[in-house]
Amino acid sequence: MKLIILDRDGVINYDSDQFIKSPDEWKPIPGSLEAIARLSQADYRVVVATNQSGVGRGLFDMTTLNAIHDKMVKSAALVGGRIDAVFFCPHTAEANCNCRKPKSGMIEEIATRYNMELQGVPAVGDSLRDLEATARLGAQPMLVLTGKGTKTQAKGGLPEGTQIYPDLAAAVATLV
């Protein structure tokens, strides 16, 4: 089985410093949904792993988060893509949970769910915490320069072997 792990905000959809708090605020980055379709057609299982502290902060509830994810899944399906699963951490940084990236609890859960080692599995993110959480388990870190990606690249300190791409579509083009 081929698996790929994608961050959500800044990779699939536009990010916002004020959080994506409703389905109306969720807007795909051009080419991202088509990239997911290409992955699906190449027999990848597409999994999203996303920190969603807006829930823990009380900015939106689980019903709203589910509606946002429903819009994302349906939007991908409309262009022939399939998002196999969405894993998320609803906690704030202050909760110090194990599932919030850069810790790897959420990523470990993905490995357990799919009963596989993550060695070499492509993992696409726009922030250092995305890359650290997946690289820790042997996944292939891929930084996209959308979202926070340009700032992340400028700060440096990327995990060894991090590949850098302008956006998700460019990253996917190297895989399929």
3-state secondary structure of 56: helix
Q: Are strands 2-6 and 122-125 parallel, antiparallel or unpaired?
A: parallel
Render 33-55 in DSSP notation, one character per residue: HHHHHHHHHTTEEEEEEEE-HHH
Tokens, residue 4: 């790929």
Phi and psi torsions of 46, nearest 5°: -100, 120
Catalytic (active site) residue 130: no
CA distances from 64 to 58, 106, 137 (A): 11, 21, 31
Catalytic position from the list 7, 15, 126, 167: 7
CA distances from 98 to 89, 95, 152 (A): 9, 9, 22
Decide: residue 56, CB within 10 A, 0-12 exposed, 13-18 middle, 19+ buried.
middle
Catalytic (active site) residue 24: no
Active-site amino acid positions: 7, 9
